[in-house]
Amino acid sequence: QLISGENAVDILAIQEAGSPPSTAVDTGRVIHSPGIPVRELIWNLSTNSRPQQVYIFFSAVDALGGRVNLALVSNRRADEVFVLSPVRQGGRPLLGIRIGNDAFFTAHAIATRNNDAPDLVEEVYSFFRDSRDPLHQALNWMIIGDFNREPDDLEMNLTVPVRNASEIIFPAAATQTSQRTL
């Protein structure tokens, strides 16, 4: 219901994606990435006579269990797909899409003491700031993810330029059984 119906979201970011739906069809689009496989699929949520299609951008980053893959679901085909390499050994890449002047990334930070959440935010910030493409420099961007870190702690661990250029939005309710918001 998140991606279909009257109040469907335009973009859904998934950090613990299993396999893509069996009825999703690979588009064959070639997505250039730094050795990280990404597929674009079309998934019809309705019937053939009344199609309601969404695009799935899927990266199988969990080669062992297949449980913590990354995916973005969009009601529009992405103009561009971004894949940024992991910022730490054992970390996950960042998967992003551009639609018009907006870029959306899904991120899943390392859950241990080696948490890489601030570095993931810094990586996206630097990617756009340092781009030679004027279009990229002017994009609005958002990272939607599981940062495995309290929002205030994440903010305090960002460099000042990134902190000043960012807004951290988090749910009002706890996201963990510990009653913490991570």
Is 64 inside a domain boundary? Answer: yes
Is 182 inside a domain boundary? Answer: no
Question: Predicted confidence band at 123 (pLDDT cuts at 50, 70, 90)?
Answer: very high
Question: Predicted confidence band at 66 (pLDDT cuts at 50, 70, 90)?
Answer: confident
Handedness of CA 129, 133, 137, 143 (dihedral sign): negative
Is 143 inside a domain boundary? Answer: yes
In contact, 121 and 143? CB cutoff 8 Å: yes
Question: Predicted confidence band at 65 (pLDDT cuts at 50, 70, 90)?
Answer: low
Q: How many domains does the chain have?
A: 1
pTM of the model: 0.93
**Containing H/E element for 134?**
helix 134-137
Is 118 inside a domain boundary? Answer: yes
The first and second tokens of residue 52, run together, are: 């309601």
Q: Which domain holds residue 83?
A: 11-165
Residue 35's pLDDT is 86
Q: Which of 88, 95, 99, 181 is nearest to 140 (CA)?
A: 99
CATH code of the domain containing 44: 3.60.10.10
Residue 180's pLDDT is 77
- By mean pLDDT, which of 23-27, 122-126, 163-167, 171-175 is the weakest? 171-175
